[in-house]
Chains A and B, each alone.
Chain A
Amino acid sequence: MSDPKSGAGTFQTKAPTKEPEKKDEEHLSEEDLALKQQLELYVERIQDPDPGLQKVALESVRHEIRTSTSSMTSVPKPLKFLGPHYGTLKAFYETMPESDLKKYLADILSVLALTMSAEGERESLKYRLLGSEGDIGSWGHEYVRNLAGEIAEEFMKQQSEEAPIEDLTELVRQIVSFHMKHNAEPEAVDLLMEVDDLELLVQDVDNTNFKRTCLYLTSTARYLPGPDDMLALDIAYTLYLKFAEFANALQIALFLDKMQYVSQVFTSCDNLLRKKQFCYILARHGITFELDDEMAAEDDDREVLQDIINNIKLSESYLILARDIEVVEPKSPEDIYKAYLLDGRASAGASVDSARQNLAATFVNAFVNAGFGQDKLMTIPSDSSSGASSGNWLFKNKEHGKTSAAASLGMILLWDVDSGLAQIDKYLHSNDKHVIAGALLGVGIVNCGVKNHCDPALALLSEYIGNEDSSIQIAAIMGLGIAYAGAQNEQICSSLTPLLNNARTPLDVISFTAISLGLIYVGSCNEEVAQAIIFAVKYRSESELGEPLTRLLPLGLGLLYLGKQESVEATAEVSKTFNEKIRKYCDMTLLSCAYAGTGNVLKVQNLLGHCAQHLEKGESHQGPAVLGIAMVAMAEELGLEMSIRSLEHLLQYGEQNIRRAVPLALGLLCISNPKVNVMDTLSRLSHDTDSEVAMAAVISLGLIGAGTNNARIAGMLRNLSSYYYKDASLLFCVRVAQGLVHLGKGLLTLNPYHSDRFLLSPTALAGLVTMLHACLDMKAIVLGKYHFVLYFLVLAMQPRMLMTVDENLKPLPVQVRVGQAVDVVGQAGRPKTITSFQTHSTPILLASGDRAELATEKYIPLSPILEGHVILIENPEYREDS
């Protein structure tokens, strides 16, 4: 990022000090000496009373300065020799009468001031304004940069002193257009931001420079305060729209979370293929969006587009990817544990079934085979051998374990609504309430991220919302939350909110209802839902507030304001009236949710402040505060690195309740991105003497390695499994983590960020945060009877693939280069965007930090960022090399 002030600073090399000058004079070459004498003569002539002579002299000086060329590091000769006369000329200028000549002199003084004026005087600007206002570029680049710096200073001064604003606009305009013409877009943008007038930019942007301009705008936006960032993005959006780069415009619209902008993109573009690409971007972002007649006139087209947004074909693409990478074969939990690699005791399996270990195997099986439609435990065809049907494994789980087992079927058949519902159906008729509950949850999971026009999840699950059995109720409610996350479906809202206000609803049902409402209305700031949850919190008794599940109530409230910054303030005020026991907890949760994914440094400091206190009363609000640090700081790379370091400090000086949350925060920061330093920290913590710290660290090892098949983490977990073979709880965590590392056999990611880490999927983040909050009290929730909260992770699960498709949306294998992404913002020319790349044929997997580019000119991608589904069209200008 270049800053106008520092840019100018490089040129504030004032005239060389006296000493070397004297020496120089002795060594002046003849040529220089002649020039020096010549200039001195001109200076004399300027002071001549004869206007004719004056004019000639001024013209000559002007000519000398303009034609002088010199390297960037030294002061041009004419300027150097004129330097000593700056004072004289200034004095003479004051005595001159108003005339064109006076303006000429002002011009020259302005240029001389570049090297001569004292710091902070801004004389260059002063004389520029008094001068003839001619072509600014004729005095050279450095002059313009210096002026820009002085303008910024002047503007600041004027603002702080509230002095009458001198009209700088005209000058700014000149400078901006000069910069824009000369490939210095960052300087132009910086200057305009200094003078708070970004709109001026639009008129100078043209076909050649809008891309660089927009790139700079979007990436600076991350570091801008307050409304400025929104403004910068707004301008970028306008520019992209102006130059018909609709896909880019759409991404900014999604970043701003402005649905009218999204609609505008659709209405502005009339190319059906491009619209299909937009739909793929919307689908990856995971938001609910209904197309109307204006956006797509033809009914058939609209249906095709809507199907893409609704992720109807996601399962199909995923399976194509799986076939291409040859991982279709189902894997059993034993294939993941790899116990044969361990020597001795741990491999000797116990002779008796352990309910906890079977439950762990259920989760591992669900995570590993997620979305593949087949596995080795649950989907065995019932006719394979009489009686040996999938029911066998189901009943190897105990009581509430059967819920998770039945629901795992939903995970295995993820996104494939048609066959998923068909397979789950039989469990709905079971006479075991836990199995029914699991089936309901499974229905929700199958529909996660997929919208069907018949709304099967809603139809099925709403039947059970009022069920008298609370475990069935919870499963139905949670299923709705997962299936309709972000949908803002009013029908669900109206059937769920009464539960919150019903005095007879059990606490666990209320908690899950709050979370589901939070998920369905994530980031919507919906008043009605907020009121309902606030009501539910207020009417909890003192003892109920102490229950572990109560922590989900404030979280549900927080999710409503996910990433919505100031909009949370009204609700935050209300939360101050809550019972003391939950007040601070609620405060932290709301704050961290509202600023999640913003990278707001002040909020991180605020949260760190809360963590620095040593509590005596056994309050629990520091856990969410620690998670909050991660939620806020995960937005961009620098803040992320800094918060990893701060978390290390918390680990050393924090109390136990903080130490328990730190591994989870690390897990969120590096989700599906196994950074070696974090891996080492977590590995160390996984042997901590406090078992809850160890459990959190183990789970987080799974989270940072989620879907990567990372061999190092897999090895660590394997060793942990033998280390903890006696401790059933920790072993359970190790197993779950092992399942996560091999999530979708390495095809899936949990990272909520996509599109070059630019966009944050709100539903994905909501799912992760919910799971992490539940993990804050591992013993009571995950190791208790609510282990199915682990399924909230499904909201964040996405294939980490690049699938190129042709105009008929059929897979089209092409060669692509995949490598480490390089930051090219503000760099000159056409820098390479990736480094150390390899060439592969699509479909391919993208690791975190990877970027892809087409290796052939034959096709043109319709999306600027090669991730997920990308439509390729043939390049009309392509010629086959002969």
Chain B
Amino acid sequence: MLTVSVKWQKEVFKAVEIDTSQPPYVFKCQLYDLTGVPPERQKIMVKGGLLKDDADWSTVGVKQGQKLMMMGTADEIVKAPEKGPVFMEDLPEEEQVVSLGHSAGLFNLGNTCYMNSTVQCLHSVPELKSALTKYSHSVRSNDLDQTSHMLTVATRDLFNELDKSVKPVAPMQFWMVLRKKYPQFGQLHNGVFMQQDAEECWTQLLYTLSQSLRSPGSSENLDAVKDLFGIELASSIHCQESGEESSETESVYSLKCHISQEVNHLHEGLKHGLKSELEKASPALGRSATYLKESRINGLPRYLTIQFVRFFWKRESNQKAKILRKVDYPLELDVYDLCSDELHKQLEGPRQLLRDEEGKKLGLKANEKSRSSKDDDFKMTDAEGFIKCNWRIIWDYISRRDSR
């Protein structure tokens, strides 16, 4: 009969007796009583080896008073969950891409980056997509020419393809139709297609779409493109010499950011772009005079397009030159101060709501106490639609153009 001490986790059981005439299994059963670990889960370390159930005590060589160590727990054995997680690496390549949040790309068909970036920008406008899907293939309104129709159809098909595919798409058909409609994009230089201006492509394409997506028959307010991209400008024209004043309104598809020496920020450029001088015949003076035209935004679209006017015409050398000046732009653009008084009034309510909402986020308390939440929601979306233009699209447009 030997007595040993057994260490189990942080506990020590002193003076555990071993009956050396019995197999070690009996000893393990003793330990089961002490620790609650079933014998088959017990591991007892003896001199760098494990004690086997059927070993012979005499060969194991346990001494009186020796310290043994036991390992083992009564814990439940870990089982794999029945439904293991699905790993991204196991998914087919297509789905992997989607799960990362990328959309399909476009092949460059030879200096067609201007077109690809334009298409990608437009493609990310869901409203335009839905408007296009409604456009029927066969029915062509009478006042639309054949090529415009084809271009619209091609745009629709290309968008569809981009949505379905996860692999890059080659926009062959679209390009062909685009060249047909606007032959200037087909210009060759040394046998290859020339570089083109994305702004031009954007303007032309939007023009075409606005023509074709106008709902025939109904009132012209239902111009989808104008709804999404059109900017209402109210301008006052003032002649300093004669003091004549007149005002006019117009609708444009983009705001211009003029880049001059003093423009460091997008906002300054925009302000700059809304002021212009023009020469026209002054009825009062009976000759042409310089007029100052100041425009303000009278209606904001859902998606605000801004063109950085980086090209200018060098008179001395008769060449196009690029202005490389760095112009900062914010990730969230507020054009409130470019708006007309009329629009200000419209915007004030929603803006206040937005501010309160922001304030709430920052932990400030709103001034108004009780308002029906429904009302709130409605106005919120309204406000957001008005002011927070989808800035990313335009940003993408710029970055792609510049990284060409």
Contacts and interface: CB of A to CB of B under 8 A. Distances in A.
B362 interface: no
Contacts of A103: none
A602 interface: no
Interface in A382-425: 382, 389-392, 394-396, 398, 418-419, 421-423, 425
A326 B9 CA distance: 26
Chain B contact surface mostly? loop
A382 B48 contact: no
B9 A419 contact: yes
Contacts of A430: 77-79
A163 interface: no
Interface stretch (A136-144, A347-355, A618-626, A847-855): A347-355
A422 B73 contact: yes
A350 B99 contact: yes
Contact of B78 (A419, A435, A491): A435
A355 B80 contact: no
Question: Chain B CB within 10 Å — which of A352, A392, A396 has the most?
Answer: A352
B69 A456 contact: yes
B281 interface: no
A459 B48 contact: yes
A391 B81 contact: yes
B72 A454 contact: no
Contacts of A395: 80-81, 84-85
Contacts of B67: 453-454
A484 to B, nearest CB: 10
Contact of B88 (A352, A453, A455): A352
B109 interface: no
A355 B87 CA distance: 6
Contacts of B75: 382, 425-426
A429 B77 contact: yes
Given A355-B87, A454-B45, A460-B50, A422 B78 contact: no
B48 A426 contact: no
A279 B7 CA distance: 24
A455 B47 contact: yes
A398 B91 CA distance: 13
Nearest to B84: A395
A427 B72 CA distance: 11
A350 B88 contact: yes
Contacts of A726: 100
B103 to A, nearest CB: 14
B72 A425 contact: yes
A463 interface: yes
B89 A432 contact: no
A422 B10 CA distance: 10
Interface string B56-73: 000000000001110111
Contacts of B78: 389-391, 394, 426-427, 430, 435
B292 interface: no
A426 B91 contact: no
B240 to A, nearest CB: 47
B166 interface: no
B86 interface: yes
What interface size band does chain A fall in? Answer: 35 or more
Given A350-B100, A392-B81, A427-B78, A460 B87 contact: no
B31 to A, nearest CB: 14
A435 B81 CA distance: 13
Interface in A426-451: 426-427, 429-430, 432, 435
Contacts of A351: 99
Given A395-B84, A432-B80, A425 B48 contact: no
Contacts of B243: none
Nearest to A426: B75
Given A352-B91, A459-B46, A462-B48, A426 B71 contact: no
A353 B88 CA distance: 6
Nearest to B85: A353
Contacts of A454: 7, 45-46, 67-69
B36 to A, nearest CB: 13
What interface size band does chain B fall in? Answer: 35 or more
B101 interface: yes
A426 B73 CA distance: 7
Contacts of A377: none
B41 interface: yes
B71 A460 contact: yes
Question: Chain B CB within 10 Å — which of A398, A426, A453 has the most?
Answer: A426
A795 to B, nearest CB: 21
A14 interface: no
A787 to B, nearest CB: 14
B49 interface: yes
Contacts of A422: 9, 71, 73
B43 interface: yes
B347 to A, nearest CB: 27
B69 A352 contact: no
B262 interface: no
Contacts of A459: 43, 45-46, 48-50
Contacts of A419: 9-10
Interface string B100-116: 11000000000000000
B248 interface: no
A757 to B, nearest CB: 36
Question: Chain B CB within 10 Å — which of A396, A422, A435 has the most?
Answer: A422
A352 B99 contact: yes
B43 A418 contact: no
A452 interface: yes
A430 B79 CA distance: 7
A491 to B, nearest CB: 6
B402 interface: no
Contacts of A429: 41, 77
Contact of B49 (A389, A392, A462): A462
Contact of A382 (B46, B49, B76, B88): B76
A462 B49 CA distance: 8
A173 interface: no
Contacts of B81: 391-392, 395
Contacts of A348: 101
A101 to B, nearest CB: 83
Contact of A426 (B10, B47, B77): B77
A14 B101 CA distance: 85
Interface in A32-90: none
A697 B156 CA distance: 47
Interface in A799-841: none
A389 B71 CA distance: 21
A67 B75 CA distance: 91
A635 interface: no
Contacts of B87: 352-355, 398
A419 B78 CA distance: 17
Contact of A391 (B46, B79, B90): B79
Nearest to B73: A425
Nearest to A439: B78
Contacts of B79: 391, 430
Contacts of B101: 348, 350
A418 B50 contact: no
Contacts of A491: 48
28 contacts: A350-B100, A350-B101, A351-B99, A352-B86, A352-B99, A353-B85, A353-B86, A353-B88, A355-B87, A355-B89, A356-B89, A382-B76, A389-B78, A395-B85, A398-B89, A398-B90, A418-B10, A421-B71, A422-B73, A425-B72, A425-B75, A426-B73, A430-B77, A430-B78, A430-B79, A458-B49, A460-B45, A491-B48
Interface of B: 7, 9-10, 41, 43, 45-50, 67-69, 71-73, 75-81, 84-91, 99-101
Given A356-B89, A382-B75, A459-B45, 12 more contacts: A352-B86, A352-B87, A355-B89, A421-B71, A422-B73, A423-B73, A425-B73, A426-B73, A426-B77, A459-B43, A460-B45, A726-B100
Interface of A: 348, 350-356, 382, 389-392, 394-396, 398, 418-419, 421-423, 425-427, 429-430, 432, 435, 452-456, 458-460, 462-463, 491, 726
